[in-house]
Amino acid sequence: MAIKPEHIHPIFDQLLPRGAKEKLLNQTAKVVWFTGLSGSGKSTIALGLEKKLHDMGHLVQVLDGDNIRSGINSNLGFSEADRTENIRRIAEVANLFLQAGLITLNCFVSPTNAIRKQVKDIVGNDNFIEIYVNAPFEVCEQRDVKGLYKKARAGEIKNFTGLDAPFEAPENPDLEIKTADMTPEQSVEAVKAFLLPHLKYKA
C-alpha cells in the first residue's frame, strides 16, 4: 500500500548543510554526467578519472549504468518509460551524493535531451556538468566491448540506442570528447584539466 504524501515529513532542512561537508572534504561537489553511445568510452574515462582525482585527494563516486541496473534499478527494462525512470532514480541518488559533498561521475547513455534535462532539473543547473563522449556508431560497434551491438544486430536486443532507437547529441555540452581521435589516457587528462577548476573548494 502506497504511503500518502501527508504522512511524509522530510527533514532536509535539519541536516548539516552541503557547504559544511564540502569544507570538510576541501572540494566543491558536482554531478558530472557522461553521455554517449554504448562503447563510446564513458566508463573508461570515468574509471581513469576516479583514480586520478582520488590520488589528488578528492572523494569521488562513480555511478555506472550496468552497476545501477544490477542493483537499485534491477526491476526496470528498456522501454521509454523505464529508461526515463532509470535516469530519474539515478539523478536522485546523484543528488544525495551531491548534498554529502561528493563528486559523482555518472556514466549513462541517457539518449535524449529531455532525459538529461530531467537530471539537470533534479540536481540543479549550477551543479550539473555535461560531458558528451562522442564516438561514431561505427566505431562503437567495432569496439563492441560488451557484445551488445552483435546481439542488437541479431535482434536479441530491441530499442538499441543508435540502431533502432535514437540518440540525441547534446546541443550545448560543457565538454565534448571525441574518443575516436584520442587515447583513453588523453581523454582522461582532457576531462581532468577541464574539471579541476570546477572542483576547487570555494569558501
d(CA 184, CA 195): 17
Contact 105, 60 (CB under 8 A): yes
Q: ∠ CA(139), CA(83), CA(145), 5° rounding? A: 25
φ/ψ of 6, rounded to 5, equals -70, -10
Residue 110 a catalytic site member? yes
Query: Which alpha helices (H) appear in the chain, and where do they start and end?
Result: 18-25, 42-55, 65-69, 80-99, 113-123, 137-143, 148-153, 184-199
- Strands 175-178 and 60-64, bridge-based pairing: unpaired
d(CA 135, CA 179): 6
Beta-bridge partners for 103: 60
40, 43, 110, 187: the catalytic one is 110
d(CA 23, CA 201): 7
* Three-class secondary structure assignment of 11-60: CHHHCCCHHHHHHHHCCCCCEEEEECCCCCCHHHHHHHHHHHHHHCCCCE
Catalytic positions, written as ranges: 110
